[in-house]
Amino acid sequence: MTNIIQNIAGMSKMTDEIIAYDSLIGTKAGVKAYSLALTEAYSQEVRDTYSRHLDAAIKAHEKIVNYMVEKNYYFPRDPEQQINYDLKGVDTLLEME
């Protein structure tokens, strides 16, 4: 039943890994945006608000990274392994064409 719903929603090709990577990229963008906004904010109330949102984005990023490491999707402590993993993914994509 899940496959039928995914096909109807157009998500049949989306995997947990792709969703995790997209989420990781999104949280990184959020951390950058809140950091920049925090440095530009003038009032303490606005800085406090941005700071809370920045903390939440950092915590979300940590959870996503931990999930990806646990699933062997991401290797932040081993750049060579990450590069090899990424190259394997590129090869897979090229074979799909």
Q: What is the pLDDT along the chain (97 residues), one digit of tens a residue?
A: 455 555 555 555 568 998 999 999 999 999 999 999 999 999 999 999 999 999 999 999 999 999 999 999 999 999 999 999 989 888 887 887 6
Q: Is 4 among the domain residues?
A: no
Residue at 1 is within a domain: no
Angle of helix 16-40 relative to helix 44-70, nearest 10 degrees, comes to 160
Locus of tokens 């303490």 = 44
Buried b (16+ CB within 10 A) or exposed e, 83-96: eeeeeeeeeeeeee
For residue 9, tell me if it sits in a domain: no
Total domain count, the chain: 1
Q: Say if 6 falls within a structural domain.
A: no
Domain assignment present for 36: yes
DSSP 8-state symbol, 42: -
Residue 3 inside a domain? The answer is no
Q: What is the domain range of residue 73?
A: 14-96
Kindly list the distances between the CA atom of residue 87 and the CA atoms of 15, 41, 90, 94, in Å, as whole numbers in the listed order: 18, 41, 5, 11
In a domain, 69, yes or no: yes
